[in-house]
Amino acid sequence: MTVEEDARLRWAIGLSVLAGTILPLHRDRIGRREQQTFRLVNGLPDRLYPPAWTVMQLGALAAAPATAGVALLAGNRPLARRLMTRGTASWALAKVVKGLVRRGRPAALLPGVRNRGAESRGLGYLSGHAAVATTLAATAYPHLGARGRRLAVGLTSVVGVARIYVGAHLPLDVAGGVALGLLVDGASSMRGRAGR
């Protein structure tokens, strides 16, 4: 598969999954399977909170300049620029999607949600943390060795699960965030190739 085909595939998967997570949403209720999945993850032991919180930071807006800084220290200025712009774009686009979809946080939709740490405010769909972490991992992926790729995928997955665990997001919120992250990286990669 060529680099261009790979970028198109990420874009297409991101767009398809994003649509697939928006279509079944209801602003005021949660489907049975999504509730069950949420309860399973949200009900995990409290002792997991410190490591979950630490890994979650890989999806915060600050992760974009932090990873860009690592790329700069490694001498890869083009990658640093892509990490910064794509990570920031994912964060901003997540805010736009939240405003359009307007689905609440788990505590607003379900009783008995275990909120760990500071309670998340605002809208739930989609997870900006999952979007940012996915974008950064997908952007860095071609520049990593096999071990680094496994670590990037694993940590990105943990970011999404951790957002459910702390009570900030429902499973479809996280899936939508992952989809947006792939969409941003794929679209940026295609545009970047076209501009060369």
In the chain, the N- to C-terminal Cα span, in Å, equals: 19
With 0-12 / 13-18 / 19 or more C-beta atoms within 10 angstroms meaning exposed / middle / buried, residue 41 is buried
Q: Which two tokens stand for residue 171?
A: 């499973």
pLDDT at 1: 72
pLDDT at 192: 62
- Residue span of the structural domain in which 170 resides: 3-194
| Tally of structural domains, the chain | 1
- CA atoms of 9 and 7, how far apart (whole Å): 5
pLDDT at 5: 85
pLDDT at 21: 92
Residues in the chain: 196
The rounded average pLDDT for each run of 10 residues, N- to C-terminus, in the chain (196 residues) is 82 92 85 96 97 96 98 97 98 96 94 92 95 97 96 97 98 97 93 57
pTM of the model: 0.94
Q: Where are the alpha helices (DSSP H) in the chain?
A: 3-22, 32-42, 49-56, 63-73, 77-101, 106-109, 128-140, 146-165, 171-194
Look up the CATH number of the domain holding residue 103: 1.20.144
Rounded to 10°, the helix 171-194/3-22 angle is 150
Q: For residues 60, 66, 67 and 73, what is the CA-based torsion angle, rounded to 10 degrees?
A: 180
- CA atoms of 72 and 95, how far apart (whole Å): 28
Query: Which residues are CB-neighbours of 141 under 8 A, at least 6 positions away?
Result: 149, 152
